[in-house]
Structure 1
Amino acid sequence: MLPQNGTLVGRIWRPGHGPALVTIRGEEVVDITGREAPTLSALLDREDPAGFVAGAEGEGVCTLPELCAASTETAGPDDLRWLAPADLQAIKASGVTFAASMVERVIEEQAAGDPARAQAIREKVGEVVGASLRGLVPGSDKAQEVKRVLTEARLWSQYLEVGIGPDAEIFTKCPPMAAVGWGAAVGLHPVSRWNNPEPEVVLAVSSRGDIVGATLGNDVNLRDVEGRSALLLGKAKDNNASASLGPVIRLFDEGYSLDDLRRAEVRLRVEGEDGFVMDGSSSMAEISRDPADLVAQTIGRHHQYPDGLMLYCGTMFAPVQDRGAAGQGFTHHPGDVVTISEPGLGALTNTVRLSTEAPEWTFGTGALMRNLAGRGLI
């Protein structure tokens, strides 16, 4: 579940203590929390996060197999478990950054969130759009020509605007401290009947705007809710346990860089209690906007993030494999086990539940500050 090498940092819950920053040394999970870096936000804001982690003294807590065995969706509030590798950072996301998912967003919009209409609209959009979107540079003259053609065919969409126009779609996925980690339940709002996982690379960005590492994420998506209206994006994207991250952040060092992320091949596997299995992939080489550009459009003189941010980069995965009625494509069933993996970043596994059945989010920023103060770390 973890990459074979690299400088790794994550967060766990230590019974009787609370949130702890950890690194992995062999099979040992080592607590490196201290006054120099009481939070992951503070650690990632250091000049050399990888060097700090590599040289940090710490306390062995448990073995990696012990931690993974304890990290289940039924873990209690003071049980040992993985946490999402983010604390004070804003959790942001980029949308419509791949051609395949861009077309599916147009289909959702045209279908007004009705999965029964999706296949017929998919065929119509495919006839006009086809492969014309692949390789387009957003904001380029060629992109503007494609916009003109689609407008004349009455297929222009707000999703195509952010997909091939000059401005990226950047939104808030969830509040700080709300994401869940490896082994936890991920939540679907109970109003949804058409939804899917979104396997993504997630960038760890300092308050200076430096990309210092990356992890994996599931940007859980409600296709029917957003399909009814893009103004329902918040309802579609931000619900209890609707964002997962992990298992760890792999920090950039001499052996791992942004160029490695640009070549990342993210795999997805969904295994249902009904025997259904779906596999998919998302190649970062197919992304329409470079990760560095996404970060530059998120943080800068126009918008600051003093505690840093985590940025989902988007996905090219478009789930069209039928699970139920023909032509209606994929939707989750409760109990689905979702595994998102990439050799350089490891594997993130979660079980799908309704957001009303996943554990309530109760440990927020205030609770973290009180906890750290009580431990003499701030």
Structure 2
Amino acid sequence: MTCIALTSEMILPHEPEALLVGRVWSKAQDGPCLVLVRNAHVLDITPLGPTMSALLERQDLVATLQAGSFQNLGSLDSFLDGSAGQLLAPVDLQAVKAAGVTFADSMLERVIEEQARGDASRALEIRQRLAPVIGDNLKGVAAGSEKAAQVKALLQEMNLWSQYLEVGIGPDAEIFTKSQPMSSVGCGAEVGIHPISEWNNPEPEVVLSVRSDGTIIGATLGNDVNLRDVEGRSALLLGKAKDNNASCSIGPFIRLFDDRFTLEELGQVRVSLLVEGEDGFQMTGESAMSAISRSPANLAGQLLNRNHQYPDGAVLFLGTMFAPVKDRRGKGQGFTHEVGDRVEIATPRLGRLVNWVNRSDACPPWTFGSTALFQNLARRGLL
């Protein structure tokens, strides 16, 4: 597998003043550290935490980070080239949740998966048949609105209603567990595709960081790696389609909201996707957050409320903006990953998340969980 060298210039947001927090494995500290990224250097803010979930609960966090002076662990480039350590996902004890079917294009593709029963060879024919009907009706429809109810009635009359459309434009969002706390991988790591899958894809998404009280405090990028053939066979296989070794990537850093970057501005970003294979295959795309069918605040409110709490906070994938359909293995076969693919998910305001695709059973196994984290922090005198 060929991996290009990553640099700080490649992965950082285009705005030098962005307030970025994350996690690294530091060789010098022999463990995970919470970090503030400033001027392409990695500053140790672990004493403020010592876990990311605890750090993000601080009400004075933005002011403390803006005014504070912290130990320099080295340049960001030294963590990207491995000499000082490596980047980790910028989350630890938080619940890792995801919202599904929140963009019109992905709604249509989920219906196609359902109709195809996981058979990629049938997708093109079904797409050509359904897109002019379902796709046109979904354009500009706000979830839970009167217009959405009218579309539902119309599609039911045509026998085209689907469980995916119910969560896509109905009153209740699909919120599911993407992966377990501590299991996500970070920028520069391998992402895993289960070896049983022959039809799968990256899902480029914006990811919210949410405090235990429901306050949305920042955002990052994520890859909700998905097995289309597995979920297409049955929606009840969602766990097998979504939660596998290294199947969740988050990063590179959480950008905290401040007077330079707000939740409202997040709603206007455009997210790009690039997939490049060792076979010379290339696929690109770009989508706008403004096309989402539910607001980020609405989705966060459906995630965390009086009926459902997350005392360690949560991160919430906001849904994929599109499902790749460019043919790869043959005409009408659509897109699927191959081992060695480089996947880049980017937006100028949040940076660039880069990963390489491997089989989930070939990616490094997940061994550092919550128990290991607390043992490590205790040994270092941080608890």
Interval containing the TM-score (normalised by the shorter chain): over 0.9
| Offset of residue 48 of structure 1 | 2.9
Matched residue, 1:139: 144
| Offset of residue 178 of structure 1 | 0.3
Candidates 121, 124, 129, aligned match of 1:124 = 129
| Offset of residue 274 of structure 1 | 0.3
- CA deviation map 1:160-191 (0-9, x unaligned): 00001000000000000000001000001111
Paired residue type of 2:36? T
| Offset of residue 282 of structure 1 | 2.3
| Offset of residue 129 of structure 1 | 1.5
Rounded Cα–Cα distance in structure 1 between residues aligned with 2:108 and 2:357: 25
Matched residue, 1:10: 22
Structure 1 residues 41-190: aligned runs within 5 Å: 41-70=53-82, 80-190=85-195
SS of equivalent residue, structure 1 residue 67 = helix
Rounded Cα–Cα distance in structure 2 between residues aligned with 1:164 and 1:207: 27
SS of equivalent residue, structure 1 residue 9 = strand
Matched residue, 1:260: 265
Rounded Cα–Cα distance in structure 2 between residues aligned with 1:321 and 1:290: 29
Candidates 34, 58, 61, aligned match of 1:21 = 34
Candidates 215, 218, 226, aligned match of 2:223 = 218
Note if contact 2:207-2:220 (Cα within 8 Å) is conserved in structure 1.
yes
Note if contact 1:110-1:121 (Cα within 8 Å) is conserved in structure 2.
yes
Matched residue, 2:338: 333
| Offset of residue 148 of structure 1 | 1.4
- CA deviation map 1:180-225 (0-9, x unaligned): 0010000011110000000000000011110000000000010000
Note if contact 1:189-1:239 (Cα within 8 Å) is conserved in structure 2.
yes
Rounded Cα–Cα distance in structure 2 between residues aligned with 1:353 and 1:326: 24
Rounded Cα–Cα distance in structure 1 between residues aligned with 2:65 and 2:197: 42
Rounded Cα–Cα distance in structure 1 between residues aligned with 2:38 and 2:147: 50
Matched residue, 2:376: 371
SS of equivalent residue, structure 1 residue 70 = coil
Matched residue, 1:75: none
TM-score (norm 1): 0.96
- CA deviation map 1:39-59 (0-9, x unaligned): 111111011322222233321
Paired residue type of 1:101? S
Rounded Cα–Cα distance in structure 1 between residues aligned with 2:187 and 2:245: 16
Matched residue, 1:298: 303
Q: Does 1:355 align with 2:366?
A: no
Candidates 190, 193, 204, aligned match of 2:198 = 193
Q: Which runs of 5+ in 1 are unaligned?
A: 72-78
Note if contact 1:32-1:56 (Cα within 8 Å) is conserved in structure 2.
no
- CA deviation map 1:225-268 (0-9, x unaligned): 00000000000000000000001000011101001110010000
Note if contact 2:105-2:135 (Cα within 8 Å) is conserved in structure 1.
no
Candidates 235, 246, 251, aligned match of 2:251 = 246
Paired residue type of 2:282? V
Rounded Cα–Cα distance in structure 2 between residues aligned with 1:358 and 1:307: 28
Rounded Cα–Cα distance in structure 1 between residues aligned with 2:135 and 2:335: 22
| Offset of residue 130 of structure 1 | 3.3
Paired residue type of 1:364? G
SS of equivalent residue, structure 2 residue 138 = coil
Note if contact 1:95-1:314 (Cα within 8 Å) is conserved in structure 2.
yes
Note if contact 2:201-2:324 (Cα within 8 Å) is conserved in structure 1.
yes
Runs of 4+ in 1 over 3 A off after TM superposition: none
| Offset of residue 127 of structure 1 | 2.8
Name whichever of 150-159 and 200-209 sits farther off: 150-159
Candidates 271, 280, 283, aligned match of 2:276 = 271
| Offset of residue 26 of structure 1 | 1.0
TM-score (norm 2): 0.95
SS of equivalent residue, structure 1 residue 142 = helix
Rounded Cα–Cα distance in structure 2 between residues aligned with 1:129 and 1:104: 10
- CA deviation map 1:336-375 (0-9, x unaligned): 0000000000000000000000000000011111111111
Rounded Cα–Cα distance in structure 1 between residues aligned with 2:348 and 2:107: 26
Rounded Cα–Cα distance in structure 1 between residues aligned with 2:61 and 2:315: 15
Matched residue, 1:74: none
SS of equivalent residue, structure 1 residue 344 = coil
Rounded Cα–Cα distance in structure 1 between residues aligned with 2:372 and 2:366: 11
Candidates 36, 45, 51, aligned match of 1:32 = 45
Rounded Cα–Cα distance in structure 2 between residues aligned with 1:285 and 1:214: 15
Note if contact 2:209-2:218 (Cα within 8 Å) is conserved in structure 1.
yes
SS of equivalent residue, structure 1 residue 131 = helix
Rounded Cα–Cα distance in structure 1 between residues aligned with 2:56 and 2:96: 15
Provide the aligned C-alpha RMSD in A.
1.1
Paired residue type of 1:2? L
| Offset of residue 32 of structure 1 | 1.3
Task: Report % sequence identity.
Answer: 59
